[in-house]
Structures are given as structure tokens and as C-alpha cells.
Amino acid sequence: MSIFDQINDDIRAAMLARDKERLEAVRNIKKVLLEAKTAKNGNEDLPDDEAIKSISKLAKQGRDSAEIYRQQNRSDLSDFELAQVKVYDSYLPKQMNDEELTAAIGSIIAACGATSMKEMGKVMGIATKELAGKVDGKLISEKVRTLLGLC
């Protein structure tokens, strides 16, 4: 079952359970996936990797919004955003921890033969494709910078 089909089933389940927060979050995901599907070509199914990228972007926006609300002492809105982010995260693959990220970036650096910061773009291109949805791009960049600085 594709992520898109799973979203449709979860919308139905949230409606039956009368779970307003989950229903709104899952509807947001469906909206984003439909936009991604129509932007691409509109006729075919959206591949799961594209769906994961879209959901990941939605989760990142939710975290950023929650942080802004928290800075403005709007805990009610911050809590709502974080609740939605929790639903978004349930559709994403398990996030990598620091050791797994270090190992993955280290193997990418070794595979492409990078030895200096000048080759960061080459490493980042490969790393962002391989680790998409598993870790935030900012963390990938920081780890690549750190590991290439040690070379």
C-alpha cells in the first residue's frame, strides 16, 4: 500500500474516531501530496520517496512554526503545531541518530574520495539523495563539514 493510499485510509479512520487534530494533520498531508502529484504530471501515482520528501518538508515547517509560536509565548499554538508534527513524523522513516549519520557520511566521503572542503558540494549531493527523509538537511551539512574538516 502506498503512502497516498494509507493517508486516505487514515482520514477515514480519524473521521470515525472523531479525532480532530489527527484528521486535520492527515488532511494537510493529503493536500500537500495532491499538490506534489499535480505539479509533477497529475496522471500517475506519487512515488513513496516523493511523498516522504513532501511530508518531511511539512514536518519541518511545523517545527519552525512551533518554535516561532513558543518565542512569542503562544504555547497553545505551539502545542497544536507539535501535535501535528507528531502525526507527520508517524509517516516518515525512522530518523538516524548521530552515530548512524556519522557512519553514513563517512562511507559516502570514502566512496567519492573527497579529501577537502572543496569537495563538499559533491559529498552533499550524494548524501542528500541517499539520506532524504532519514535526517534533516541541516544536520547532514553540519556533519559533512565536520568530517571533511578532519580530512
Q: Quote the DSSP letter at residue 118.
A: G
Residue whose C-alpha is closest to residue 85's, from 67, 49, 61, 68? 61
For residue 82, what is the domain's CATH number?
A: 1.10.1510.10
Question: Same domain for 65 and 36?
Answer: yes
Q: Quote the DSSP letter at residue 95.
A: P
Domain that holds residue 65: 3-89
Question: Same domain for 13 and 77?
Answer: yes
Q: What is this structure's pTM? A: 0.75
Share of the chain above pLDDT 70, in %: 97
Domain count, the chain: 2
**Which tens digit of pLDDT belongs to each residue from 89-103?**
999 888 888 898 899
**Which tens digit of pLDDT belongs to each residue from 12-61?**
999 999 999 899 999 999 999 999 888 866 667 778 888 888 898 999 99
Contacts of the segment 120-129: beta carbons below 8 A, 24+ positions apart: 120/144, 120/145, 120/148, 123/148
For residue 118, what is the domain's CATH number?
A: 1.10.10.410
